Structure 1
Amino acid sequence: MGNQRIYRSPYPTPHVPTDLSIPQFLLQSNPDDVPADKVVLEDFDEHGKSITYGQLRNQAALQASALKQQYDLKEGDVVGLFGSPLQPPGFTSRDNRTIPAGIIFSSGTSGAPKAVLLSHHSLIAKLLVLRATNPFNHNAYTREVFFPSFAHIYGIVSGVLLPAWTGGYVVAMPRFEFDGYVRRCADIRATLLRLVPATAARLAADPVVRGLALGTVRSVMCSGASLPAETIAGMRKVLHPEIVVLNGYGMSEGTISLQREGQAHKAGSIGRPAAGAEIRIVGDDGSDVAPGSDNDGECYVRSPTLFMGYKDNAGETADTLDQDGWLHTGDVVKIDRDGDMWLTGRKKELIKYKGNQVAPAELEGILLEHELVVDAGVCGLIKNGVELPAACVVLAGHEATADKEAVLRKLQAHLHERVAPYKRLRGGIFAVQELPRGSTGKLLRRSLPKVIARLGRARPRL
């Protein structure tokens, strides 16, 4: 333990209360910059019915004092603001680090979903960490259109809990459609855009954007992958020359790194350790990697945002969260001399396509089911800032000399009929003489992008 190189966040360490539930935290501890007349809830079925932050606190206090005696309520009971009783689990005064607040499903190394248990403490910590890292970006004056799913950790925290706490204004889209998104952003005079790389690239190039009033946008937050420098430059031309582009890196199990406004942007960097986080970069030999070197390693993180464990899966929990409190992310990272982090690969070998996780082994198994395939390897290819599933296959016998284009189209159709749309081989499918394998026969997956690059096939088959 003595030779560990622990990188601590340069941002303020938040104090996370251990005696509040999520509802209590949202109600009692709004930041000072949330005006009392800020509307927190509107009922669109009954025009004009709304409640402000100030009214929310007053109603809560009145109901607490009046109803406590009338209904024999006890500490922690919750009632509806407009008179409808709610039936949440009873909150107690126990340590909120031990009380589950919800379950988020995440993919494991095999692609099987795992139930990620999140405590009230963890979710409160995520809110405090985001605010401590970017106080000028998460406040009562933020306006945004939000399209990611509320079923994922990103949507729950950034689209629901964070704006409810800070007073931010959020318009939700039931499904993403580019023209509708950018026009709605102009309508509400959005100050913040949350994008994935493909959407950012289109925004920088689409002529429709140039005719819209998007001059109020000051920040762009990108998830899924880092943005290329040319995309950032393009967005600054069509939005604002001083727009701040922020990248971050995290998972359902914990918040890891974030970029802060005012920090010199490095295209491709995933930022620095988030507020309250400690980071270790551990090499294959178990030793900690020095900063500024060309070596990378698996990213370990210790933070108040970490999950409780995987529900009913003690084995996976022990493999992911060690006894010293370090989360083994499975992602390969390096840190430069300035303390900026760079994501270089994924030890878990999962491909992340627009926030969806794709297990290479699943696609390889489907390809190998076809009689024309004797070997298959799947990897992720980065194109325009988006990671795309791609495959290399070794064809059987006479098919190796037949019309390869027709055979590959047949194989691609075979796979696409059996998987969800986000698992399709959007990076292409390529015929090779052999796959790169080690002395033990293990597929060297990280070598596949180099194999594809040597083939010189720049246009993927979609």
Structure 2
Amino acid sequence: MALASPYPDVEIPNVSVPEFVLAAGKARPDAPALIDGLKGDVITHGQLAAYVDRVAANLHARGLRKGDVVAMFVPNTPWYPVIFHGIAKAGMVMSPINSLYTPDEIAFQLKDSGAKILITINLFMERVEPAIEKAPVDEVVVLDFRDGYANLFDLLGEDAPSVDVEIDAENDLVTLPYSSGTTGLPKGVMLTHRNLVANVAQCRPLINLKEDERIIAVLPFFHIYGLTVLMNQGLAWGGAVVTLPRFDLEDFLRTIQDHKITRAFVAPPILLAMAKHPVVDQYDLSSLTSILSGAAPLDEQLAHAAEDRLRKGAEDGVKVGQGYGMTELSPVSHTTPDPGCEPPGARSDVPKGSVGYAVPNTECRLINPETGQDAADGERGELWIRGPQVMKGYLNNEEATRTTIDAEGWLHTGDVAIVDAEGRYTVVDRVKELIKYKGYQVAPAELEAVLIGHPEIADAAVIGVPDKESGEELPKAFCVRAPGSEITEEAVMAYMAEKVAPHKKVRFVEFIDAVPKSAAGKILRKDLKARA
């Protein structure tokens, strides 16, 4: 049975992402759009539109055309949105690369996405150079200047004529982030202009951003949460997005204080620091009115602890809520509404453990994993979602697309949820293999492939195990030594640390005689979890 959102459907304009997101700024050209949280540099809404035009023109002048992929390996800066929207205005596709990736991981994404150009910074070049040896691109642009490479000024040059590319919002891709989905290796998630426009429009009735809002953007723009919820949502309603290149607690708190931040969209580890760390009391956070957590489950007690602590420094208190989504959903399907933005007939506040209501234009089903039928009222089931935010599919992977999106358009999330009588959802479990660590996806299959690449490891399996202190899932490897090998746990962890990004590192190793597998050869992870 399909469960509709309690909110009325919203209109989704049939326009490109830049046309939609940059429209509000036309009425406020001198108002700040992007602010560097550390340096204080400002790009106004008027400047943003002009710079976006220049980036589109100069990428076109370099020979790139509609549909070409431009990879971005860049931390959060005010220039990230400029370049993203320039790429989008030219009809090209931006593929964001995780700033923590190793050369092998960068090379995989460059090759799989078919990227023509890679845009990066000097600090990342020691990883870029070995990556492009394995997966060559036509050009590397180093934004902050490096001899022999084009730079930011080359993307902003005045000579190239403006371009006007016809965009089919429903079918043309705008971004290609990589996700492990519910299982397997990372896959390119094909998101169209309509997907992203829809998701920003869908959030509007629940998250009532004002023109004078200041949003702190410490969650990375390479993550779809950062790209849609922080960057595009903030700009679309005429607010100011204040960027930080990485999370440092004191920089984060100082930026909230100095820039009078009104909203923070975070992941649970940041909220944990705000609830527990003593340094928080040294900063004036009274401008902050709302904290919304996403990317990983938020503990109910932690939400209350953060709200109670931060209420002391704010006149009207700080509301802490959470939302739910995934890269394949652009990413939002559910969220906690702002006070006053509850759906018609709502009788109470959203409980802290809940991810809130389905956003407009969204249908949900809860499916009993054992029977494949709709779960009975009040019972848990795998969450299926249908709506305009659902991805077009996985790049060059029809099998994975068919596994994730069925013939009726339902996306199978792999998460188990329950819904109450008021239409508020709580995610209670996971049926998918994916490990979530500090909001990042960790695919067991990816780590297993790296482990098996070691000559002294004959077979391997990876699962997530809970950390007793933080509640985070930590990757644990079960390894079968090759004949004659005496490789140690420490050696396995050191090997993995060199091969994968920090959030993917194996934290525990256990040697076993054989990896338990089904008759079809599938790893029996339940058996491994039972002994973990």
Give the TM bin, normalised by the shorter chain: 0.7 to 0.9
Aligned counterpart, 1:300: 384
Aligned counterpart, 2:500: 419
Distance in 2 of aligned mates of 1:322 and 1:432: 38
Matched, 1:15 2:96: no
Aligned counterpart, 1:275: 360
2:456/2:481 contact within 8 Å kept: yes
Q: Check 1:287–1:143 CA distance in 2 against 1; reply closer, same or farther (3 A cut).
A: same
Structure 1: any 5+ residue segments left out of the alignment?
A: 61-76, 453-462
Map 1:59-138 → 2, pairs under 5 A: 87-88=162-163, 90-91=165-166, 96-108=169-181, 111-135=184-208, 138=209
Give SS of 1:361's match: helix
Select the residue among 173, 180, 187 that pairs with 2:258: 187
1:225/1:386 contact within 8 Å kept: no
Q: Check 1:26–1:199 CA distance in 2 against 1; reply closer, same or farther (3 A cut).
A: closer
Post-superposition shift, 1:39? Answer: 3.7
Amino acid at match of 2:311: H
Select the residue among 429, 435, 447 that pairs with 1:363: 447
Q: Check 1:219–1:387 CA distance in 2 against 1; reply closer, same or farther (3 A cut).
A: farther
Distance in 1 of aligned mates of 2:454 and 2:396: 36
Distance in 2 of aligned mates of 1:237 and 1:436: 47
Matched, 1:248 2:320: no
Distance in 1 of aligned mates of 2:236 and 2:456: 56
Distance in 2 of aligned mates of 1:24 and 1:346: 37
Aligned counterpart, 1:311: 395
1:9-30 CA distance string (max 9 Å, x none): 1223211122x22233235467
Q: Check 1:447–1:342 CA distance in 2 against 1; reply closer, same or farther (3 A cut).
A: farther
Select the residue among 212, 224, 229 that pairs with 2:295: 224
Post-superposition shift, 1:292? Answer: 1.0
Post-superposition shift, 1:367? Answer: 4.5
Distance in 2 of aligned mates of 1:364 and 1:50: 44
Distance in 1 of aligned mates of 2:296 and 2:386: 22
Distance in 2 of aligned mates of 1:312 and 1:191: 41
Post-superposition shift, 1:370? Answer: 6.5
Distance in 2 of aligned mates of 1:43 and 1:81: 19
Distance in 2 of aligned mates of 1:264 and 1:351: 30
Distance in 1 of aligned mates of 2:253 and 2:35: 24
2:7/2:360 contact within 8 Å kept: yes
Q: What is the Cα-based RMSD across aligned positions, in Å?
A: 4.0
Q: What TM-score do the two structures reach when normalised by structure 2?
A: 0.66
Give SS of 1:239's match: helix
Select the residue among 267, 270, 273 that pairs with 1:199: 270
Matched, 1:389 2:475: yes
Higher-Rg member (1/2): 1
Moved more, 144-153 or 80-89: 80-89
Q: Check 1:373–1:221 CA distance in 2 against 1; reply closer, same or farther (3 A cut).
A: same
2:29/2:44 contact within 8 Å kept: no
Select the residue among 304, 309, 325 that pairs with 1:233: 304
Map 1:298-447 → 2, pairs under 5 A: 299-367=383-451, 376-383=460-467, 384-392=470-478, 407-426=488-507, 428-430=508-510, 442-446=522-526
Distance in 2 of aligned mates of 1:236 and 1:48: 31
Give SS of 2:490's match: helix
1:374-420 CA distance string (max 9 Å, x none): 76542223442533222345779999xx9xxx943343334333332
- Work out the number of aligned pairs and report it: 413
Q: What TM-score do the two structures reach when normalised by structure 1?
A: 0.75
Select the residue among 275, 279, 291 that pairs with 2:377: 291
Give SS of 1:429's match: strand
Q: Check 1:337–1:84 CA distance in 2 against 1; reply closer, same or farther (3 A cut).
A: farther
Structure 2: any 5+ residue segments left out of the alignment?
A: 54-88, 91-154, 340-347
Q: Check 1:316–1:368 CA distance in 2 against 1; reply closer, same or farther (3 A cut).
A: closer
Amino acid at match of 1:176: F
